[in-house]
A and B are shown apart, each in its own frame.
Chain A
Amino acid sequence: MSKAAIHYSFDHEHLLGIDGLHPLDLTHILDLANDYAEATRSGKRADPVLSGKTVVNLFFENSTRTMSSFEIAARRLGADVVSMPVAQSSVKKGETLIDTAMTLNAMKPDVLVVRHSASGGAKLLSRKVDCAVINAGDGTHEHPTQGLLDTLTIRRNKGRVEGLKVVICGDIVHSRVARSTTLALHLLGAEVHLCAPSTLMPSGTETWGAASATSDFDAALEGADVVMMLRLQLERMDGAYLPSRREYFRYFGLTEERLNHAKADAIVMHPGPMNRGIEIESAIADGERSVITEQVEMGVAVREAVLHLLAGGRP
């Protein structure tokens, strides 16, 4: 069925998570993002659909990568961008998330891009402001633009999402990327297998749409089309969740040998920043099956699409 036939329109006020989106929404965002990606590659300037609009990046956690990606995306569409790494400012003086949000809201931005260390932080903010809110990561809950960029990268490399076998391996329990990416891929029909040491695997992953949850990485990799490694926070490896770095690498590190279990044309992904030699070998990260830099490229394209849909009128 074509989109026109069912009168599709993107009618979301915010992008707080993949949860709550329809597969058609995803396809629509990905199509638009792909157009933006192609335009950038061919050196075309995007239409300034956000001309005269103000986008505020409100980052309560430091993340140069994600903040820069949003900033570049917004500027390409002609928006005025203010980036506030709040981690270093007034919040330290006891100002709460809501106070900060109300203050910014009074300045009438059109879009607030927010990252916060608390799950639900973006949702809370969206209740208190009048503009569109984009969740750029809230605690261990969701990181929807990451889920979208992962999905777009896969779709571009494999030509489809439906029916692919995707393995996501690493610290699933603390990963907002795992949640958003699993939800997005499942909505579009991929078969997502989660792999983690049992101490880092949450319960109920079937409610995200995961096909399986295991701590046997080699078995999970059998016949995989896509292998996505997650970053493991070094502080989790000091004996609290895992015995040691080398034990983690032994069972969950992605090596050339291990990758042989996957399909010959499997692609390797990582949301970054990578711990080389802990979750992934450098040879693979830099190898020809790696699409890690394309993920970064698609990140900007996806953010252009999302900003356009939320604040730039109908594409």
Chain B
Amino acid sequence: MSLSIFNARLLDPASGTDEVGAILIEEGCITAISPGATGAHKGASETLDAGGLCLAPGLIDLRVKTGEPGDEQKETLATASRAAVAGGVTSLVVMPDTKPVVDDVALVRYISDRAKVSAKARIYAAGALTTGLEGKAMAEIGLMADAGAVLFTNGDAPIGDPSILKRAMTYAASRGAIVMSRPDDNALKGSGVMNAGAFAARKGLSGIPKEAEWIGAARDLMLAEATGCTLILDQVSTPRTLELVADSRARGASVFTTIAAHSLFFNELDVGDYLTYCKVNPPFRDEDTRLAMIAALKAGEIDAVVSAHDPQPPEEKRLPFGEASFGAAGLETTLSALLSLVHDGPLTLLEALAPLTSRPADMIGLPEGRLSEGTPADFILFDPNKPWLCEREHLLSRSTNSPFDGRRLQGRVLKTFVGGEQVFAR
């Protein structure tokens, strides 16, 4: 059983390939890549004419929340993976802030077992850095890593006590585990609900100041330097945070950064008349900051783009802005959000795809995220120009709290393959 897909525009950020050609898939893996080939591979038992569509590695998403276990009314692993493959995401890392918290081996195994029977995409568990995410006692980092947890995080609430974080990072480093932290100073963030500034003041909403991110980032970066632990700064939102990262890297720290796709698309004014779908943390910043972050992404100063998928049902969002939950559904719009930056000019297709594929894969050591011989055949066929209207009623996530609701987008996934199997087509 072999499949040759030909007449495809092969896009592989890892190798820099951008050329029409063919790929051959056997036994769930890519076994031949032939840029420049005009037809299918000889001897393939099946062939597929891609009709000139783009063929790229499936997206690797390092930050996805579901509600399984505990909040299945928000999202299950099955519904999240259904939304993921529709958005071109073939590997996703699910956060540990579930009920119960994923803070021991049994729960890591539960996630991978449930994913095997119910999910179409590859699902990796992130383990809790502290038991119950309480920020007090270190969780079983080594045992969870052995069971398959790919990184460790305290979720949305940073550990308050730096001595506990330092010990957890020291220990994680000795086990070769990666720590991901959301840089925030809890006290400075306070009761803030959107970007601090004139617009928040005029709307009578309390602001989240950028200093909260800077102070949180500075602390985490210095602890990464001191402990030698590999650190992922989760969803950075300002250029100054990247300056802090560059400084730490120059001092030898092993640090990566991610940014949420929606932060590259929206600014604070999109909150408009209290639209709770635009309530996220970190908040949508001012337009100058958004543009600076796009420039930083182009310059390679941001390593990965995440969906920050955070499903919230209507009862969490149909509330006054200050009372609504943070979080936006994002799995189905990440690629389109990045393609908008290609259409608007700043990014090339390969620059848009690299932080969605090979770079996040390399950060946590996954074999996926590239088109190369011997790697799992996880890839997407997409039309970068296809216009579509994002309507929440048509999203596949169980919760459809998307800030893109009602937006016209350009570029969409048409087919998704995981392990050589077609798992989605539209």
Chain A residues in contact with chain B, CB under 8 A?
19, 96-98, 116, 118-121, 123-124, 138-142, 173, 176, 179, 202-208
Contact = CB atoms under 8 A, between A and B. Distances in A.
Interface string B192-208: 00001111011111000
A138 B321 CA distance: 11
B318 A118 contact: no
Which 6 A-B pairs rank lowest in CB-CB distance, beginning with the nearest? Answer: A204-B198, A118-B320, A141-B204, A120-B274, A202-B201, A119-B204
A121 B196 CA distance: 20
Interface string B83-105: 00000000000000000000000
21 contacts: A19-B202, A96-B318, A96-B319, A118-B319, A119-B274, A119-B322, A120-B273, A120-B320, A123-B273, A124-B320, A139-B204, A139-B320, A139-B322, A140-B204, A176-B204, A203-B201, A204-B198, A204-B201, A205-B201, A206-B198, A207-B198
Given A123-B273, A123-B274, A124-B274, A118 B201 contact: no
Given A118-B322, A118-B323, A142 B204 contact: yes
Interface residues of B, number: 18
Contacts of B273: 120, 123
Contacts of A140: 204-205
B343 to A, nearest CB: 31
Given A96-B319, A138-B204, A141-B203, 7 more contacts: A118-B321, A118-B322, A119-B322, A121-B320, A123-B273, A203-B198, A204-B197
Nearest to B322: A118
A136 to B, nearest CB: 14
Interface of B: 196-199, 201-205, 273-274, 315, 318-323
Most chain B C-beta atoms within 10 Å of own C-beta, residue among A119, A120, A142: A120
B197 A179 contact: no
Contacts, number: 68
B199 to A, nearest CB: 7
B197 A203 contact: yes
Contacts of B315: 96
A207 B201 CA distance: 10
A97 B319 contact: yes
A119 B204 CA distance: 6
Contacts of B319: 96-98, 118, 124
Nearest to A138: B204
A255 to B, nearest CB: 29
Contact of B205 (A119, A176, A204): A119
Nearest to A97: B320
B318 A173 contact: no
A118 B274 CA distance: 10
B201 A119 contact: no
Nearest to A141: B204
Contacts of B320: 97, 116, 118-121, 124, 139
Contacts of A120: 203-205, 273-274, 320-322
A141 B320 CA distance: 12
A161 B143 CA distance: 73
Contacts of A203: 196-198, 201
Contacts of A123: 273-274
- The CB with the most chain A CB atoms within 10 A, among B199, B203, B319, B322, is that of B203
A140 B201 CA distance: 9
A142 B274 CA distance: 13
A179 B197 CA distance: 15
Contacts of A205: 198, 201
Contacts of A202: 198, 201
Contact of A173 (B199, B201, B203): B201
Nearest to B319: A96
